[in-house]
Structure 1
């Protein structure tokens, strides 16, 4: 498994992370197989959130693997907090309580990374800073980041934080390309020129913030997958032809398309199917050519000026 440098020198981690959102639906035996498959494939980074399965995903993960200090040392554990059932909450009190809850469920003394889970419109950055300082000084959280935040939202937090934000988790796939479309079609009078992301891609590269790409196979938000979907014949034809060339499955090509970007993103894969995960991990064994990358981009319905 290829490694990536998260935060430019802070964490060395697998280029693919296992997203554990759906783990709540597994039995402990099934979860054990899934986690061990990930470890066998070289995945050492596991993405959680307190909202996933209302905490059950974290619980099943720890129980399934039989969490011990020895096992814990082999893993990088990330969790997220801030989403409530019908609101967001980045208050100091909630952040501290959420982390304690995740630590208890994951049966560990610390998180390698804590992300703020989507933006809270009522965020008070001074409170976030207080919470992060307490968590960091106590050893409960080693590193911090955010998800789905704009450059200015990150700048506002950074003004008050004593810790560097290493990660921004963003939706990105060949069917969700907004943060590169506006750059490619800059100065054109096309719908794709509209910048809905605030220049977040280039901002993260300038600030050495690693982008974690979530939903690498989805189109829309959660409308379904684009692979093997009759709605996208040209895209699937192109991906399948490239898959044959490299001797891999289409999932590997879809992930390789993300990994080919020079921003050096980490891809969060949420499958709970062991074989599908094995197939996908082959994405780190080859690199798409520049032309193949653009062929897939165009086959997805995008245009070049």
Structure 2
């Protein structure tokens, strides 16, 4: 079965590329490692690559740029998404968020240099900056777009009111919100069914964010979509062990992999969630092939069984 037209397609998250999170430069081994991961992603049909200026302190973008330098024709076959707005801690200051116009512009210019490209397809604002002036952000984004440096914009880890406030100052549409979502991180889902229960206050996901994005055509992307291995070898609780067994059983019955089942569970949701595959292991990337090539093959009942098993308790 081929994937449905317009179905939510996975993208590849490049945070694992470039070596360690230290200030040391990368070498040929890191480039070779990145090349193997990117080739695996391309092999299974992924065409969007997700970055951030801070990943491996810029080395993730830089090694990807090395690959584009070796194969310039690749740029026309893919879309590049990156993020800005987080400043890592250093010897002089603590880590902070910075969505001032000058910082956004400088981050974009540096990302373009590292990535060896003249345009970013989608720029996401990585985290909300409480001191940010939305009109200043909008002015900067509009300028970057008019200069041909960025094609479109989105956000990451923001709630509905934050998105709405920024959009009220920006004529260009915000097209993406990237959030942590998985079978393990389910608060985005739990919130919707715990309304009018005593457990509603235990859920930290911001109310109305999913619905706002759906109403306004903002695509939802799920980082950590494979649940960071909790259902594929890193189980620690009874619910995680039982869920891993169920995932394996469903994968066997459908002729696919456990990784695909986890991604299908997200893709099956009507919000059309786009999973970000963050593994740097080529074998695990390839194990996600069916999430690209096949429409989700989970029934209504199977989708709920996964959810209920993972939560370790019946629905209210």
1:228 aligns with 2:233: yes
Q: Confirm or deny: 8 A CA contact 1:183 1:193 kept in the other structure.
A: no
Give the aligned partner of residue 40 of structure 1: 43
Q: Report the secondary structure of 1:36's partner residue.
A: helix
In the aligned structure 1, how far is the partner of 2:137 from the partner of 2:275? 27
Q: Confirm or deny: 8 A CA contact 2:12 2:276 kept in the other structure.
A: yes
- 1:144 positional shift: 0.1
Give the aligned partner of residue 299 of structure 1: 309
- 1:19 positional shift: 0.2
Give the aligned partner of residue 215 of structure 1: 224
Aligned partner of 1:164 among 173, 181, 198 = 173
Runs of at least 5 residues in structure 1 that lack an aligned partner in the other structure:
6-12
In the aligned structure 2, how far is the partner of 1:196 from the partner of 1:172? 10
Q: Confirm or deny: 8 A CA contact 2:69 2:116 kept in the other structure.
A: no
Q: Confirm or deny: 8 A CA contact 1:58 1:106 kept in the other structure.
A: yes
1:195-246 alpha-carbon deviations (Å, 9 max, x no partner): 6312211111011100000001236xxxx63422332111111111101111
In the aligned structure 2, how far is the partner of 1:72 from the partner of 1:65? 7
In the aligned structure 2, how far is the partner of 1:3 from the partner of 1:114? 27
Structure 1, 31-40 or 114-123: larger mean CA deviation: 31-40
In the aligned structure 2, how far is the partner of 1:250 from the partner of 1:95? 39
1:136 aligns with 2:163: no
In the aligned structure 2, how far is the partner of 1:101 from the partner of 1:3? 37
Q: Confirm or deny: 8 A CA contact 1:14 1:42 kept in the other structure.
A: no
Q: Confirm or deny: 8 A CA contact 2:191 2:207 kept in the other structure.
A: no
Runs of at least 5 residues in structure 2 that lack an aligned partner in the other structure:
20-28, 89-94
- 1:187 positional shift: 1.4
TM-score normalised by L of structure 2: 0.88
Over 6 Å off, 4+ runs:
none
In the aligned structure 1, how far is the partner of 2:71 from the partner of 2:84? 24
Q: Report the secondary structure of 1:27's partner residue.
A: helix
The count of residues paired between Structure 1 and Structure 2 equals: 294
1:148 aligns with 2:151: no
Q: Report the secondary structure of 1:54's partner residue.
A: helix
Provide closer, same or farther for how the CA distance between residues 79 and 105 of structure 1 changes in structure 2, counting only shifts above 3 A: same
Give the aligned partner of residue 24 of structure 2: none
1:252 aligns with 2:257: no
1:87 aligns with 2:90: no
Q: Confirm or deny: 8 A CA contact 2:37 2:282 kept in the other structure.
A: yes
Instruction: Please show how residues 55-134 of structure 1 align to structure 2 within 5 Å.
Output: 55-66=58-69, 69-85=72-88, 86-134=95-143
TM-score normalised by L of structure 1: 0.91
Q: Report the secondary structure of 2:96's partner residue.
A: coil
In the aligned structure 2, how far is the partner of 1:151 from the partner of 1:191? 18
Q: Confirm or deny: 8 A CA contact 1:29 1:64 kept in the other structure.
A: no
1:28-56 alpha-carbon deviations (Å, 9 max, x no partner): 12211221221121100000000001111
Structure 1, 56-65 or 22-31: larger mean CA deviation: 22-31
1:230-277 alpha-carbon deviations (Å, 9 max, x no partner): 321111111111011112221111111111101111110111111111
Give the aligned partner of residue 15 of structure 2: 21
Provide closer, same or farther for how the CA distance between residues 162 and 191 of structure 1 changes in structure 2, counting only shifts above 3 A: closer
Structure with bigger RCO (C-alpha 8 Å, 6+ apart) = 2
1:55-88 alpha-carbon deviations (Å, 9 max, x no partner): 1100101103435552211010000000001000
Structure 1, 235-244 or 33-42: larger mean CA deviation: 33-42
Provide closer, same or farther for how the CA distance between residues 156 and 87 of structure 1 changes in structure 2, counting only shifts above 3 A: same
